[in-house]
Structure 1
């Protein structure tokens, strides 16, 4: 009898240990643990530690908590100017709500498929609104497009309650199909040459305008300067005449003598030979009479 009791205690102890260990589970760093009851997610744990569940009823499902990168399948998109291009992009994402994610996607592969569909729809819609040369330019639309697509995809998945957080969507490559790549490149070169010719023509026209304006200003300045100089000379001559008249009015005889002496200086320069009547006033002054 005692033997049967001991065996019963041992079996009960084993069952208790099994139940105890069956009710415990560990959450590690970088993972979610979802508690499933009859196949339906009822709770999730994200912080590392030891947790309990109902043994034999609850099951545990593991999902990654870290960021993941999904490489979207290259697809053909038509731009606003009717060019077919091959678009290759990638998406950085993570599971934000494991319970919602489990209800809609079940596993990482299904979640990646949801992302692929949302990214394709957004990229197709956004690239159809811009021209090809705007897409390939690093200094114009590419940065804005990446940000717009990221925001658009994030809102789409959030609206559908997929439990997915979109961190970033980036376009890696936008290539033309080989069949029409050369013709499009030649067309782009022709367009750029046309734009360059227009800029050169506009620059030449502007240069002529500036030169003409400068020449006109120079002529106006020279004419004004000449008029000012003539005015100054006339005023100077007028002032000199005034001084002469004042001087002459004060002592006419002295003034006549002064002017006569000045004429002598001019006349006698370089030892000239002068013939004049001896009784002329000019000669008499020279002779000291």
Structure 2
């Protein structure tokens, strides 16, 4: 053995290889420690740190955090992003005693990760709880509305937004206080009617159509009457203005004629009387009129030498 150790032909082990092995071992140990004690929190999530099964710390800031190694500490991750789920089919009774089959939906997110972890823990269990909570709220809220508030040809009777807002209010407090869940939206995805209600709904829709037609006819008749009334008033106004203008023109003409007569009488009274006598004679004697008068009676005296 001594000869093997002292053999000058033997090659010594490289020291670099030893350091590489040591470094690899240290890195492996550090990796194991990091995996056992480090907690990476991502965006949109929170981490509940438990010690021997009891929650001791909540990590809700993205980044690297530290904990005691397993089995002392363990972690439970909670997704904080918004989630949407569809409720099951549920048959409800409206205020006017009509059955409807609804499929709803809800948009929710975890608002209190610690409460969520302690009360539910998983998304599947959370949606099961929410399904029952929303179904109970639908029974209470829809019982305060008629069927026409859910389905109608008249937009003024639809109240779906109001119903959905009431559903959110009816479920929000319970979901938050019990489960650490914030309910953002509750709505209706599908609505159907049992067979015995279909004919009643069609009858209601036909009645609404008739009401629409009657209302439109009444509005049309009212508008036609208004237009006729305005037309009659405008025609009467135009006729009145025409009569007024005609009377004004006639008055102006008569005034002008009187002025001309007066001016003629002032300038030549004899000529004026002569012309007026001719006008009087023309108005009295027609084409086939025979009048017997004395020659000295006016206006015939104009025909005698005495009247010249």
TM norm structure 2: 0.68
Alignment match, 2:168: 150
Offset, 1:73: 0.8
Secondary structure of 2:121's match?
Answer: coil
Contact 1:42 1:99 in 2 (8 A): no
- Cα distance in 2 for partners of 1:16, 1:173 equals 56
- Residue 192 of structure 2 is matched in structure 1 by 175
What residue number does 1:131 align with? 146
Q: Aligned partners of 1:223 and 1:15: how far apart in 2?
A: 112
SS at match of 2:239: helix
Q: Partners in 1 of 2:199 and 2:262 — Cα distance? A: 94
Deviation at 1:100, TM superposition (A): 0.6
Of the structure 1 ranges 251-260 and 161-170, higher mean CA displacement relative to structure 2 is found in 251-260
Mapped to 1, the partners of 2:29 and 2:232 lie a distance apart of 109
2:116 paired with 1:98: no
Distance 1:251 1:19, change over 3 A: closer
2:27 maps to 1:27: no
Residue by residue over 1:179-225, the C-alpha shift from the partner in whole angstroms, topping out at 9 and shown as x without a partner, is 32133112221232134214413531453355246425533652464
Which of residues 68, 75, 79 is equivalent to 2:94? 79
Partner of 2:211: 194
CA contact (8 A) 1:77 1:86 kept: yes
Matched residue, 1:166: 183
Deviation at 1:177, TM superposition (A): 1.7
Aligned: 1:236 with 2:253 = yes
Measured in 1, the distance between the counterparts of 2:190 and 2:31 equals 58
Equivalent-residue separation in structure 1 for 2:37 and 2:218 (angstroms): 83
Residues 229 and 105 of structure 1: is their aligned pair in 2 closer, same or farther, counting only changes over 3 Å? same
SS of match in other structure, 2:197: helix
Question: Which of residues 124, 130, 134 in structure 2 aligns to 1:109?
Answer: 124
Stretches of structure 1 that go unaligned for 5 or more consecutive residues are: 1-12, 264-279
Gaps of 5+ in 2: 1-25, 281-299
Q: Bigger CA drift: 57-66 or 93-102? A: 57-66
Q: Deviations over 1:104-144 (max 9, x none)?
A: 11222221122223322333333333332332367853344
Q: Which residue does 1:204 correspond to in 2? A: 221
Separation of aligned partners in 2, 1:195 and 1:178:
26
Structure 1 CA distance for aligned equivalents of residues 84 and 208 of structure 2: 38
Partner of 2:63: 49
Which of the residues 220, 233, 248 maps onto 2:265? 248
CA distance 1:29–1:231, shift in 2 (3 Å): closer
User: CA separation of 1:203/1:255 partners in 2, compared to 1, >3 Å: closer, same or farther?
Assistant: same
Query: Is 2:82 the counterpart of 1:67?
Result: yes
1:72-103 CA distance string (max 9 Å, x none)? 11211222332211111211222222111012
Q: 1:86 to 1:17 in 2, by over 3 A?
A: closer
